[in-house]
Chains A and B, each alone.
Chain A
Amino acid sequence: MRKKIQWDKLTLSFLSYFVLFLLGMACLIPFCIVLVSSFTSEVSLLRNGYGLWPEEFSVEAYRFIFSNPSRILWAYGNTILVTGIGTVLAVAIASMTGYVLARRDFRWHNHFSLFFFFTTLFNGGLVPWYLMCTTYLGFKDNYLARILPLMFSVWNVILAKNYMKGIAFEITESGKIDGANDMQIFMKLILPLTKPLVATLTLFTALAYWNDWYYSMLFISKPQMQSLQYLLQQILASIQAMKQMAAAGEVTTISSMDIPSASMKMAMTCVTVGPIILLYPFLQRYFIKGMTIGAVKG
Chain B
Amino acid sequence: MSKKNPPALPVRIRRETFGHTIRKDWMLLLMLLPAVLYTLVFHYLPMSGLVLSFKQFNYVDGVFGSPWNGLDNFRFLLISGKLGTLTSATLLYNFGFIVVNTFLEVLIAVFLNEITCKWFKKSFQSFIFLPYFISWVVAAAIVQALLSYEYGAINKILEIVSGNKININTTASVWPTLLVTLSAWKSVGYGSVVYLSAITGIDPGLYEAAELDGANKWQQIRYVTLPALLSTVIIMVLLAVGRIFRGDFGMFYQLIGNNGVLLRKTDILDTYIYRSMLGNSNLGMTAAAGFYQSVLCFVTIMAVNALVKWIEPDYSLF
Interface residues of A (CB under 8 A from B): 6, 8-9, 11-13, 15-17, 19-21, 23-28, 30-31, 33-34, 37, 45-46, 48-52, 93, 96-97, 99-100, 103, 106-108, 112, 115-117, 119, 121-132, 135, 137, 148-149, 151-152, 154, 157, 181-183, 186, 207, 211-214, 229-230, 232-233, 236-237, 262, 265-266, 268-269, 272-273, 276-277, 280-281, 284, 287-288, 291-292, 297-298
Contact = CB atoms under 8 A, between A and B. Distances in A.
A291 B132 CA distance: 13
Contact of A152 (B42, B47, B127, B289): B42
B32 A123 contact: no
A292 B193 contact: yes
B126 A125 contact: no
Interface in B10-36: 16, 21, 25, 27-28, 30-32, 34-36
Given A17-B120, A107-B16, A262-B151, A8 B133 contact: no
A214 B131 contact: no
Contacts of A273: 134, 138
A19 B112 CA distance: 10
Contacts of A8: 216-219
Interface in B235-275: 249-250, 254, 257, 270, 273-274
A297 B124 contact: no
Given A97-B35, A106-B25, A152-B38, A236 B141 contact: yes
A103 B25 CA distance: 11
A51 B117 CA distance: 30
30 contacts: A6-B216, A17-B115, A20-B108, A20-B115, A23-B108, A24-B123, A27-B130, A27-B185, A34-B141, A49-B152, A93-B38, A96-B35, A100-B31, A112-B36, A123-B43, A123-B294, A124-B47, A124-B48, A124-B50, A125-B273, A127-B286, A211-B133, A211-B137, A232-B137, A232-B141, A236-B140, A265-B144, A269-B141, A288-B125, A298-B318
B135 interface: yes
B38 A229 contact: no
A99 B31 CA distance: 9
Contacts of A152: 35, 38-39, 42
B301 interface: yes
Given A126-B290, A281-B126, A50 B153 contact: yes
B223 interface: no
Interface in B109-162: 111-112, 114-117, 120, 123-131, 133-135, 137-138, 140-142, 144-146, 148, 150-153, 155-156
Contact of B273 (A112, A127, A182, A268): A127
A50 B151 contact: yes
A27 B189 contact: yes
Nearest to B151: A49
A130 B277 contact: yes
Nearest to B215: A8
A9 B16 contact: no
Contact of B277 (A23, A126, A132): A126
Contacts of A20: 108, 111-112, 115, 120, 124, 128
A266 B124 contact: no
Closest 6 CB pairs of A and B: A128-B49, A125-B290, A211-B135, A8-B216, A124-B46, A298-B318
B89 interface: no
A125 B107 contact: no
At the interface, is chain A mostly helix, strand, loop or mixed? helix
Contacts of B42: 129, 148-149, 152
A52 B296 CA distance: 46
B153 A49 contact: yes
What is the size category of the interface that chain B forms with chain A?
35 or more
A46 B227 CA distance: 53
B287 interface: yes
Given A122-B298, A298-B317, A100 B138 contact: no
Given A151-B38, A157-B35, A236-B144, A128 B156 contact: no
Contact of A103 (B28, B128, B293): B28
Contact of A229 (B115, B135, B194, B217): B135
Contact of B130 (A6, A28, A291): A28
B128 A33 contact: no
Contacts of B128: 20, 23-24, 27
Given A51-B156, A122-B298, A211-B135, A100 B28 contact: yes
Interface in B275-309: 277, 283, 286-287, 289-291, 293-295, 297-298, 301-302
Nearest to A203: B133
Nearest to A130: B277
Contacts of B270: 126
Nearest to A151: B38
B52 interface: yes
A83 to B, nearest CB: 13
Interface string B157-199: 0000000000000000000000000000100111001100100
Given A49-B155, A93-B35, A129 B16 contact: no
A297 B216 contact: no
B76 interface: no
Given A116-B39, A265-B141, A93 B34 contact: yes
